[in-house]
A and B are shown apart, each in its own frame.
Chain A
Amino acid sequence: MDKIIITVVGKDTVGIIAKVCTYLAEKKVNILDISQTIVQEYFNMMMIADMEHADASFAQISEELEKLGEEIGVRIKCQREEIFTKMHRI
């Protein structure tokens, strides 16, 4: 497993999840978990994904997701899982 956390924050619109998922599928990144909520019309999504079999580097995926976010008008951030597990799990 090579887990990454993808967070998407921005104004809610049609097809945000679809676009992110399509991109990840193209890069062979496996989605393990998705949670999503809307807070005051703002779309918040967190995705846990495994890039063990991905055919692109973390740097490339991170950069392209950021670009994709700009196209949709949301902010997409890609981080390795450890920063969260280290902070929230003993």
Chain B
Amino acid sequence: MLNMFEVIETNNMIEHEKLDVRTITMGISLLDCCDANLDELNRKIYEKITSYAKDLVKTGEEIARDFGVPIVNKRISVTPIALVGGCACKTPEDFVTIAKTLDRVAKEVGVNFIGGYSALVSKGMTTAEENLIRSIPQALAQTERVCSSVNVGSTKTGLNMDAVNLMGQIVRETAEATKENDSLGCAKLVVFCNAPDDNPFMAGAFHGVTEADAIINVGVSGPGVVKVALEKARGANFEVLCETIKKTAFKITRVGQLVAQEASKRLGVPFGIIDLSLAPTPAVGDSVAEILEEIGLERVGAPGTTAALAMLNDQVKKGGVMASSYVGGLSGAFIPVSEDQGMIDAVSLGALTIEKLEAMTCVCSVGLDMIAIPGDTPATTISGIIADEAAIGMINQKTTAVRVIPVIGKSVGDTVEFGGLLGYAPVMPVNRYSCEKFVTRGGRIPAPIHSFKN
């Protein structure tokens, strides 16, 4: 029988250490909505999503009440729209109508984000995919809840440098199109290498073509819980440290597993995966940076940061894997800047630079995330940042991503306020030397030698 200490421990995690389930994301395939008529396509998309997701938010709230654990976000991911709209959309403007439909359906069912305004172009681009990519700035400017992602490379295919070059321009155009709101559109746009099909986290969630008709994926959270557990292991050696992280990750993930199973049962939609990521928020005590500092760094960004993050990420996975029947998505420690108070502080103090963040992405789950850069950063430089990050993913057989925000009209020294879970960020300096001749060569970077495993 349960004892009082166990019950108090769990409730303390929820009430004082910010344990929550970050998101229940319902993945919905839109492949059967394909139609040559654009109006008909939009109608089918609206109906299919509404029919699956009409009870998603209500069910999420009921589960949160039954178990007494907050479920912060209820979201939807859909099949990459470049595939769904290819038949009907002949221009970028045609694609924007689908973005508006997605936005409307998101508001109708009450989810705060819908992901999947995406194109997977790791090797080449079809006309439809290029049209979708070119529509992204307007799609994000004219909608509120739509999230977009583009996969520009993979370990198996190499890097599509034409897409990398184009995405530098698209990120800039998106910043321009949303400059009235501090270029907020770029916070809803991710450029991936090795993008997973089952990621529940925004802005990069989409419902891959390898997935079933509908699926429930859950993203857990709990940096605060790990931080508090580590406070009790101050001064202990690495063995004790690692064991503490593993045990805590296990407990956090079990809550996610429970919520995922319940959501799956109540909605009648199969359970997909748990994403083990430690996802921070701008709230104090809910920060991955604070964990790294608790481990022994004066500030995140100090020498030793990459090693500490590598260890943290690995232990979180080891603890989490046993707690869940299926693990997937991004699964690791997120290191966004604007969404993590400890990261924001480290940047403000000059302890953390983009270059150090890039090194950290070699060992963490995602990439350069929610980083505000000067508004006059050239498109080719953004492409260079994307190429560097994608190369790390390609060579290390991991997912990497870039979500940078060139804030139009702002420069180093300014601060940008995105609001809510997206937080705020100091504008970070970017290396001013050009890579234009490199990123505009055209063509592909071939797949690395270790990808040929057959």
Contacts and interface: CB of A to CB of B under 8 A. Distances in A.
Main secondary structure of the interface of A (DSSP, over half): strand
Interface in B236-286: 251, 254-255, 257-258
A86 B6 contact: no
B64 to A, nearest CB: 11
Contacts of B258: 82-83, 86
Given A77-B11, A86-B255, A48 B65 contact: no
Contacts of B10: 83-84, 87-88
Interface string A60-90: 0010000000000000011111111111100
A88 B67 CA distance: 14
B11 A35 contact: no
A30 interface: no
Given A7-B7, A77-B11, A85 B67 contact: no
A88 B54 CA distance: 34
Given A5-B2, A33-B1, A82 B67 contact: yes
A57 to B, nearest CB: 11
Contacts of A84: 2, 6-7, 10
Interface string A31-42: 011010100000
B3 A35 contact: yes
A86 B254 contact: yes
A48 B2 contact: yes
A83 B257 CA distance: 10
A7 B3 CA distance: 12
Contact of B67 (A33, A35, A37, A83): A83
Nearest to A63: B65
Contacts of B62: 59
Contacts of A81: 2
B68 interface: yes
A21 B171 CA distance: 61
Interface residues of B, number: 21
B394 to A, nearest CB: 38
A79 B4 contact: no
A80 B8 CA distance: 14
Contacts of A82: 67, 258
A54 interface: no
A83 B3 contact: no
Nearest to A39: B8
A46 interface: yes
A78 B255 CA distance: 17
B352 interface: no
Most buried by B among A48, A59, A80: A80
A78 B65 CA distance: 9
Contacts of A80: 66-67
B255 A87 contact: yes
A83 B255 CA distance: 6
A44 B2 contact: no
Contacts of B69: 83
A87 B254 contact: yes
A87 B251 contact: yes
Nearest to B66: A80
Nearest to A85: B2
Given A82-B67, A83-B69, A5 B7 contact: yes
A37 B7 CA distance: 13
B255 A46 contact: no
Contacts of B254: 86-87
A46 B4 contact: yes
Given A7-B7, A84-B6, A79 B255 contact: no
A76 B350 CA distance: 46
Most buried by A among B7, B9, B67: B7
A85 B3 CA distance: 10
A83 B14 CA distance: 11
A37 B66 contact: no
A37 B3 CA distance: 12
A86 B256 CA distance: 10
Contact of A37 (B2, B4, B11, B68): B4
B16 to A, nearest CB: 12
B428 to A, nearest CB: 38
A7 B11 contact: yes
B229 to A, nearest CB: 13
5 contacts: A5-B2, A35-B4, A78-B68, A79-B68, A83-B10
Interface of B: 1-4, 6-11, 62, 65-69, 251, 254-255, 257-258
